A and B are shown apart, each in its own frame.
Chain A
Amino acid sequence: MKKLFTLLISATLVFWSCGVDFNETKVPVNTTLPLADFNISESMLLSWGGVKEDILSRGDDDILQIRKSQEIEIGSSADLKDLFNISNQKFLIPYNFGGIVPAPIEININPIIKLSHNFVFEDNYTISNATLNNGEISFNVLNTVSDFKNVSCTIEQLTKNNNPLVIKSGETISLAGYELKLDNKSTLNFYLSGKISAKAGDNLSNINLNIAFSNLEILQAKGFFGRKEIDPVNEFTINIDPSIIDFFKDCDYYLNNPQIKLQLSNAYNLPILVKISKLKIGDKEIKLKDGIGNSTILLKPEYITDYVLNNSSTLGGKELSEAISSNISSCTIAFTIITNPTKEDIGDAAYIAPTTNAIALNKSIKIQEDLLIPFDGMFTNVAFNQEFNMDLDNSNGNIYEYLKLGITCANEMPLNLNFTLVAVSNDNTESILLEEPVNIPASNGLRPASPNFKAGIIDNANAIIRTIPGEKVQAMITAKTLKFVFKGSMPKQANGEYSKLYSPSSLNLKLIGNLKGEF
């Protein structure tokens, strides 16, 4: 048995001596795997810079632009309401029905008496035809004790459902829905009929017929509504999105071609002259040149007029850019409106003004106001940072020697960019992974689709390598988030012209990783 135990013990020792702890075995890894192929569009990059993507759009020349819009409606409400209001009309018509009555009598008005009176309008206001939205008519007979209650007044020029308006003495009738027709002298004819009951001694020689129109409001009308100047209609302010203000907050920038685009829809059959009476960018007032196309816009009847206000509309030729480049907070604009403007108002002797207009209460003048700021210019050192959730497997016990990143890119944007990577741990400690940032040159500034376009590439070989040391790889693997930290500048072109950021354009960034370590 002793021999047996000796044998067993020696065998055990032999195997223990060569037995290694395979749980402790490390598999060395030196492998290269593609990590990412990112296409970062121009608008995405700006959104990394804090600009809300919904205020970015593609402009007329395919240049990315900031667009802030608002719609203003003029008409139907307060400012143009005068057009639809007819001043109260009071017709006091004296009439002689035949002197003092000797004995009680009933007088039949036969033949029918026709009386006329003219509507009185301000300025050159005339109506040939109108449907009334509101108003009352009242009929009273004054200066008598005789009974006129069976006397009716028929107005054939006021009809509803083709029936003329008939009003008895002492009545008040609502005119809502009545159609009013007037001749070119605005004469209204009244036809009296019926029976007068007079007592002995009544004097019928000096009877005043009182017909009054009050609270008249037009639903729709044809005519000529005269020249009215409404100043100012209102002030309208577009507040620039705070994300834009933040974006430009800490950088030098110049925006070469800001524009205020107005689309003015005149639903009235009535020419209207719109004057920009005030334009302010932030606190700075911008002086505009006079004349149509600069500070005034003629809205033809029932017509949509497009108008662009830019640097050339300003007195100095650059005020809009300068103001926006110094304070991009808000844009305030005020309008004066002149209806049926004259040749003098327009400053055009050849202008032939229309002689008839048509208006309707449900119509209006709408102004679509777009403040457009294209990325046409320059800016320096804007941060475009973006965080991504990591949530990778966190395998303990791995040893990381390094992670080499192979980087290639194609930059279609006229932006000089540099980037680094930052790992943010669960306790919000930041660790810069790439000590030396990667510089990505700008494109040659041409439109990406143009034949001579050249994208910006890293160095000349476009195959650079950056090494992340082991302890930082550990920080990266266990990070809560990974932050891409970009800084970008849009410089002037070599020929001195401002750069334009075209849409679509993108930064294509490829990352491949060579991880060396033990697992």
Chain B
Amino acid sequence: MESNLKIIFKVALVFTMLILGSNVYSQDNMIFLGRNTPQKFVANPALTPDNARLFLAMPILGGMGANISGNINYSNIFSLSSKKAIIDPKHLLENLNETNNIRSIINLDILNMGFRISNTGFMGITLRARTSIDASFSKDAVSFLMDNPLERTGLFNIMVSPDALSWGELGISYTQKVSKNFTIGARVKGLIGGVSAQSDNMTLIADKKFDSYSLQGNINMTTGNLNLSDDGEDKFNIKNISPGFGIDLGVSYLSDNKQLNIYASATDFGRIFWNKKSSTKIASSSTTAKYNWVGIKDLDNLINGNKSFKDVFDDTFDEMTSAMEIDTVKTSFTSNLPLTIQAGGKYAFDPELKHNISLNTLCIIPQFAKVYYEFTAGYTYSTKSKRWDIMAAYTYKSLNPFNIGVGGLYRGRGFEIFLMTDSINSYFNYKSAKSANFRFGMNFYWPIKYKLKGSMIW
């Protein structure tokens, strides 16, 4: 068996670093403060864009943004020297909790379009590439790597649990106005699994002495389309199809005077069935099996020149996985999509819908990682011309309690453009921000020809 433990460490490290440093576009509450846009329609299939006969979100640029949410902030991790980000281990370790969580979703909307098929019916087509990354890691996992001088001895509780999966989805939605006030929507999605690495709780306890470690722990991880077995085939192979399905549901209530809108959605009910040919499961069959890690022992092969240091180092990892009863097998398994539940309401104080307040909540339930949630209270001002929406909000996030959001949306003839963030404070003081969020969008519209009472005509 090849040194899978080493690969696990590498993968875990890469995921951690990816999360700490990636540009991501996430679902958030901020989009619900504005008018109904295609981006809102993706999050709740009952919320069709206002007065559109046909809409098309600009591919890729239709949604662009960044979101990091964690219980550590930027300056905890990095110290800046010119444009180089240097992770400062001292600050990082001082500010880490014993257990740390970071989450993000990356969505790339390749196609997001919709069209009205009747006075009450609306259809949408979406083609999206998506990645959901959650990670939990212990402080010791970082200190093992970053603050582990020779003189330090004792226990390290190394917990690194990635829950990351990516997939592509083609969705077809249908939205129906079922009564004067109620609209419901559903989206059925066909999925193709990209790659995944998921673990519920991977912990390695390393008891360090001056010249060796005693290792034991619970190692478990599934990797979809990432072959970690030593069968000589490619590590990454997405030619073997891993199919899946998903369902998004939404409901919306709009009062007769349009001043109150209440809505809820549950998206990403679904599963991916990872194929057996290139997916693996790594599991330790014993949590008590110990390995006394002393480094390279294979002196004879080194002397004979049969093996290099690198070879025998790999052999040491093999011996480790064998002693700790860690097996890697090719297998099929299923992953649940991270279920997202969103609900909220918007109330306009005046019949012209100029002054609006809103309350929104979002909850993401990943398969293994911790549940993530956020609450947003917001205010939106719409100009009389209805060309501008200006918004401000406060968001409480489960990983970060203080976020002030601002945003602006401009609608011109046949198009709209918006820019918003749920955490403007992070840009003024980004070094201490525990979240970063940014949305930019551009959409194109072909307005409806017939009038709906109370709606705007362009």
Contact = CB atoms under 8 A, between A and B. Distances in A.
A390 B84 contact: no
Contacts of A393: 310
Contact of A512 (B87, B150, B310): B150
Interface stretch (A35-43, A158-166, A211-219, A290-298): A35-43
A512 B85 contact: no
A21 interface: yes
B80 interface: yes
Nearest to A11: B419
Nearest to B438: A15
A511 B309 CA distance: 14
B235 interface: no
Given A36-B295, A406-B150, A514-B150, A26 B84 contact: yes
B7 interface: no
Interface stretch (B204-212, B217-225, B268-276, B277-285): B204-212
A514 B427 contact: no
Nearest to A393: B310
Given A512-B295, A518-B86, A34 B146 contact: no
A517 B176 CA distance: 60
A363 B456 CA distance: 124
Contacts of A390: 308-310
B84 A20 contact: yes
A391 B148 contact: no
A512 B302 CA distance: 18
A22 B85 contact: yes
Interface in B105-149: 144-149
B178 interface: no
Given A44-B303, A393-B310, A32 B78 contact: no
Interface in B140-195: 144-150, 152
Nearest to B209: A512
A20 B80 contact: yes
25 contacts: A11-B440, A20-B83, A20-B84, A20-B85, A21-B84, A21-B85, A22-B85, A24-B85, A25-B17, A25-B21, A27-B146, A29-B145, A30-B145, A31-B144, A31-B148, A32-B150, A32-B152, A36-B294, A37-B296, A389-B308, A389-B309, A391-B309, A511-B295, A512-B210, A516-B149
A386 interface: yes
Interface in B290-314: 293-297, 299, 302-303, 305, 308-311
A25 B84 contact: yes
B349 interface: no
B204 to A, nearest CB: 13
A39 B296 CA distance: 11
A177 B440 CA distance: 115
Given A4-B417, A20-B83, A392 B310 contact: yes
Contact of B296 (A24, A35, A44, A389): A35
B253 interface: no
A244 to B, nearest CB: 20
Interface string A389-403: 111110000000000
A510 interface: yes
A34 B87 contact: no
A388 B150 contact: no
Interface residues of B, number: 47
A78 interface: no
B410 interface: yes
Contact of A32 (B84, B208, B419, B438): B208
B309 A18 contact: no
B292 to A, nearest CB: 9
A26 B210 contact: no
A18 B212 CA distance: 43
A478 interface: no
A406 B211 contact: yes
B430 A18 contact: yes
Contact of B293 (A21, A34, A388): A34
A28 B80 CA distance: 13
Which DSSP category, helix, strand, loop or mixed, fits chain A's interface?
strand
Interface residues of A, number: 48
Counting from the closest, the 4 A-B pairs by CB-CB distance are: A391-B308, A37-B294, A34-B295, A514-B150
A7 interface: yes
B427 A22 contact: no
A459 to B, nearest CB: 13
Nearest to B17: A27
A508 to B, nearest CB: 10
B258 to A, nearest CB: 27
A465 interface: yes
Contact of A510 (B212, B310, B417): B212
B365 to A, nearest CB: 29
B445 interface: no
Contact of B297 (A31, A37, A408, A482): A37
A38 B294 CA distance: 9
A388 B211 contact: no
Given A24-B83, A25-B84, 5 more contacts: A24-B84, A27-B145, A29-B146, A39-B299, A390-B309
B295 A391 contact: no
Nearest to B431: A18
A349 interface: no
Interface in B62-117: 66, 78, 80, 83-89
A392 B213 CA distance: 22
B302 A514 contact: no
Given A28-B86, A389-B308, A408 B210 contact: yes
Contact of B427 (A8, A14, A34): A14
Nearest to B308: A391
B297 A28 contact: no
A7 B388 CA distance: 13
A31 B408 contact: no
Contacts of B293: 34
Interface in B15-47: 17, 21
A40 B213 CA distance: 21
A117 interface: no
Contacts of A352: none
Contacts of A388: 302-303, 308-309
A404 B213 CA distance: 17
Contacts of A103: none
A514 B149 contact: yes
A350 interface: no
Nearest to A38: B299
A33 interface: yes
A389 B305 contact: yes
B146 A31 contact: yes
A463 interface: yes
B303 A37 contact: no
Interface in A17-74: 18, 20-22, 24-40, 44
B303 A386 contact: yes
Interface in A367-390: 386, 388-390
B86 to A, nearest CB: 5
B331 to A, nearest CB: 30
B150 A4 contact: no
Contacts of B83: 20-21, 24
